[in-house]
Structure 1
Amino acid sequence: MKSTKKPWIFTAKCPSILGTVDVVTRYMAESGNYVSEIHSFDDYESDQFFIRIEFIPNGDAFSEDVFAADFQARADEFNMEWALTPPDHKPRVAILVSKYDHCLNDLLYRYRTGQLNIEVPVIISNHPDLKDLADWHGIPYYHLPISAETKPQQEAQVKELIEKYDAELVVLARYMQVLSPDMCQYLDGKAINIHHSLLPGFKGARPYHQAWEKGVKMVGATAHYVNNDLDEGPIIAQGIQTVDHAHYPEDLVAKGQDVERVTLFNAVKYHVEKRVFLNGSRTVVFGR
């Protein structure tokens, strides 16, 4: 069955019980919904089952309310938590950034060209440097300076803007600030952060220069959800590139930034397409 219609997305998780795939796919067939993509995973460590389905309703009479009423009784038998995402849904994404523009530039390009099915209603920064980029895209830009003394007030302003613009996802696109525990808790599970991944680990200032001095042979990036561990939240996507002795510190920085922007894009795309499930401290990610 070929169709040019955009699909609905069905996602669910439940305890691992016999018949979990059947209860979903049988209902889809009985209700005339054509399954165009399906992924499932049963985690025997946590005894949890995860499933994601893209489907095309047969005809124009599809009703989300009818689907919910009819399917809920079946879902209850499996203690299943489930959700439907309509084809026209565009998550509202607030972006936080400091001075580095590579991740912001990449996200805005992919947003503008439709590679990311999102709305970007606001950009927030602790520096004024990237306002022209936001203005060019017609997106409100808020410069909120921060210091150790003003951190609580600044973070309160950030929260107000997230709520004012009704953002359901926050992306830290190289936002070079350590968030307070209160802010991490506020963003828990609804914010994605990106940072370099270098082995061995190099913390503090000029990590790529530290890595060069040790002769690293690989640079990478990790995108993860923000939680109370800040840089240790559940991982969504990672990327790497090999380097060698001919790469100087500025080359490592350039390579690292390339990996960062692609890895962050992948993480945001997986999230907005409902391909990521939290599974304790880990994630289940159904790629394409």
Structure 2
Amino acid sequence: MTTLSPTAKGYILTLSCPNRPGIVAALSQTLFEAGANITEAQQYDDTSSGSFFMRIMFDIVTGTTSEADLRAVVDTMAAKFTMDYRLNSQSYKPKVMILVSKFDHCLVDLLYRWRIGELPIEPVGIIANHPQDTYKDIDFYGIPFHHLPITKDTKPQQEARIIELVDSSGADLVVLARYMQILSNDLAASLSGRCINIHHSFLPGFKGARPYHQAYDRGVKLIGATAHYVTRDLDEGPIIEQDVERISHADSPDDLIRKGRDIERRVLARAVRYHVEMRTIMNGNKTIVFVS
């Protein structure tokens, strides 16, 4: 058993590249030579695309390898195997901007999980298209609140202000916590790969407005929610997490909405956690999700 130094620093590395023999062996040897002890490793070969995906957790336990040195050796590996990769300290907490509309259950749930330490994020702002009085019962714990009302005529200016706030706050991730506005193509493109949406439907079914009423009219027996990355295509982004709940003919649309709120908040929380723990890797229109 390896005994960790009191100064050991943990890292997470995720990568994707064309699949070929020797990737794992070469990467393991490189990390070993950098003084690393691998504590967890998951990998996936996508035979349909010929791509390889991996998530590795490791500690630097010997030598004096700095983060800059570590990034240099990983850069060398990335060049050799044509890798796209992310490398972060295990203690890193991404800065998160949360967007919300009238319904606040997902916002409240994210703030609660952050407050108790379950969700390792640093909220840097809340943007709402409703005034702060709408959320008078919520404790924002000093997180800056930005009221950005929107109309058809002011949408370009409102979205430009969103981008300004995201950039000025240094936000790594934007979470649409039931933000009930359709993002323009320009905004969706600027947030590509760093914006998660919760859709109150088990996509790809019942897209758009009033999905629970659509489900009720169709007499479905299962309802669900979908968390996905935002793209230019409305509700078509790579799916991160989904969940469902059984309902019956006796449930009204209001019952479906009530039950749906519980599904939405837990699905969104899991998706955000998977992202900040670097468990997700984009794979075209899909995602690879390494769940422990």
**TM-score under structure 2 normalisation?**
0.91
For residues 50 and 200 of structure 1, do their structure 2 counterparts lie closer, same or farther at Cα, with a shift above 3 Å needed?
closer
2:49 aligned to which of 42, 46, 49 = 46
In structure 1, the residue matched to 2:210 is 206
Could you say what the CA RMSD is over the residues aligned between the two structures, in angstroms?
Answer: 2.1
In structure 2, the residue matched to 1:160 is 164
1:114 aligns with 2:111: no
In structure 1, the residue matched to 2:189 is 185
58-67 or 277-286: bigger deviation: 58-67
201-210 or 139-148: bigger deviation: 201-210
For the Cα contact (< 8 Å) 2:281–2:288, is it kept in 1? Answer: yes
In structure 2, the residue matched to 1:25 is 28
Partners in 2 of 1:194 and 1:281 — Cα distance?
17
CA deviations on 1:40-84 (whole Å, 9 max, x unpaired) are: 111111111111100122158341122233343344321223332
CA-CA distance at 1:27 after TM superposition: 2.0
CA deviations on 1:240-283 (whole Å, 9 max, x unpaired) are: 11111232222211111111111111111111111111111111
For the Cα contact (< 8 Å) 1:135–1:141, is it kept in 2? Answer: no
1:88 is matched by which residue type in structure 2? Answer: S
Partners in 1 of 2:130 and 2:233 — Cα distance?
25
CA-CA distance at 1:134 after TM superposition: 5.7
CA-CA distance at 1:229 after TM superposition: 0.4
Partners in 2 of 1:60 and 1:219 — Cα distance?
53
CA-CA distance at 1:198 after TM superposition: 4.6
In structure 1, the residue matched to 2:239 is 235
Partners in 2 of 1:252 and 1:92 — Cα distance?
33
1:104 aligned to which of 85, 107, 118 = 107
For residues 70 and 165 of structure 1, do their structure 2 counterparts lie closer, same or farther at Cα, with a shift above 3 Å needed?
closer
In structure 2, the residue matched to 1:254 is 258
Partners in 2 of 1:286 and 1:130 — Cα distance?
37
Partners in 2 of 1:133 and 1:6 — Cα distance?
40
In structure 1, the residue matched to 2:150 is 146
CA-CA distance at 1:24 after TM superposition: 1.2
Gaps of 5+ in 1: none
For the Cα contact (< 8 Å) 1:101–1:130, is it kept in 2? Answer: no
- Report sequence identity in percent: 51
1:137 aligned to which of 132, 135, 141 = 141
Query: What secondary structure is seen at the aligned counterpart in 2 of 1:122?
Result: strand
Corresponding pairs, count: 288
CA deviations on 1:139-197 (whole Å, 9 max, x unpaired) are: 11111111111111111111111112111110000000111111111111110111122
**TM-score under structure 1 normalisation?**
0.92
2:110 is matched by which residue type in structure 1? Answer: L
In structure 1, the residue matched to 2:79 is 76
Query: What secondary structure is seen at the aligned counterpart in 1 of 2:71?
Result: helix
For residues 199 and 237 of structure 1, do their structure 2 counterparts lie closer, same or farther at Cα, with a shift above 3 Å needed?
closer
